[in-house]
Amino acid sequence: MLTDDQRAAIAEELAEADRAHAVIPRITARYPDATIDDSYAIQAIWRDRMVASGRRLVGRKIGLTSKAMQQATGITEPDYGVMFDDTVYPTGSTIDAAQFSNVRIEVELAFVLASPLEGPDCTLDDALAAIDYAVPALEVLNSHIELEGRTIVDTISDNAAYGAMVLGDVHRRPDEIDLRWVPGVLSRNGEIEETGVAMGVLGHPATGVAWLANKFAQHGARLEAGEIILAGSFTRPMWVYAGDEVRADFGPMGVITCRFA
C-alpha cells in the first residue's frame, strides 16, 4: 500500500491535471503495488480538497456495472466516484469540450433519493422505496490518467473518470415504469453509434444504488435524501469532440441532446 504522503501527492497531481485539463502518467506504472484501498483514499483526499475550495457535492456516480466492463478491468464489483454541482447540465446544453480530457459519453439512468438509504443489508426493493424519481442521463467521462494500460486503481483514483452529466427533463417514479426496459439509442451528428437497454446494468438499473448503500455502510456512511445517483452505463462509451452534436433517445423517458463546443 502507499504511504499517506504518496496518496496526498497523487491527489494533488490529479487536482492540478483537472485545473490544467491535462493527463498524467499511470499511477500503477509508477506504484505497481498500489491497491484499490489506496485508490479510494486518493479519491477521498481529492474530494475533500474540492469541497474545501467551495464546490458542493450533489451525488455519486457508479461505474463498471456491466459484466463485460468488469471482466475487461479484472474486477468483480462496480466502482464509484463523486459529483459536484458545477458538473450538472440540463438537456440542450452546450458544453466546452476543452475542459475535459479523453472525452467520452455514456447512456445511463440517474436516481434522486427521497429518503436516506443505509446498508449493510440494503436490497433492490429498499432502493426503489427510497428513490423519488428516475431521470435519463448522459455521463461525460473525463480521464486525467493516460488510457493505455490503465487499471481499476488508476480509474478510481481519478474519481472513477467522472467529468459531468447531462440530465433529461422526464421524471418517472419507479412504480410508473419498468425501468429494466428503458432503451438508450445514442447518436453523434445524426448517426446512431450505440444502443442498449437499462437491464444491462446489473439486471436492474437501481441495483447499483443498493450496492452503493451497502458499500458506504462499511465506512459508517449512508446515502442522503436529495442525492443524485448516476447508476451506470448500458452502452459502451462514445468518443466526442468539439463540434459534435449528441442525441440520446430513451423511448418513454424522452430525449437528451447536447453539443460540444
- pLDDT of the residue at 89: 98
Domain boundaries, the chain: 57-260
Q: Which of 139, 131, 136, 132 is nearest to 169 (CA)?
A: 136
- When pLDDT is cut at 50, 70 and 90, the band that residue 190 belongs to is very high
State pLDDT tens for residues 46-76: 999 999 999 999 999 999 887 656 665 666 6
State pLDDT tens for residues 29-49: 999 999 999 999 999 999 999
- pLDDT of the residue at 71: 62
Mean pLDDT of all residues in the chain? 95
Q: Does domain 57-260 have CATH number 3.40.50.300?
A: no
State pLDDT tens for residues 118-172: 999 999 999 999 999 999 999 999 999 999 999 999 999 999 999 999 999 999 9
- pLDDT of the residue at 69: 62
Lay out the sheet containing 245-249: strands in order across. Answer: 93-95, 255-260, 245-249, 183-188, 191-197
Instruction: Specify whether the CB–CB gap between 234 and 197 falls below 8 A.
Output: yes
- pLDDT of the residue at 199: 95
Set of cell numbers at residue 4: 499517506
- pLDDT of the residue at 74: 62
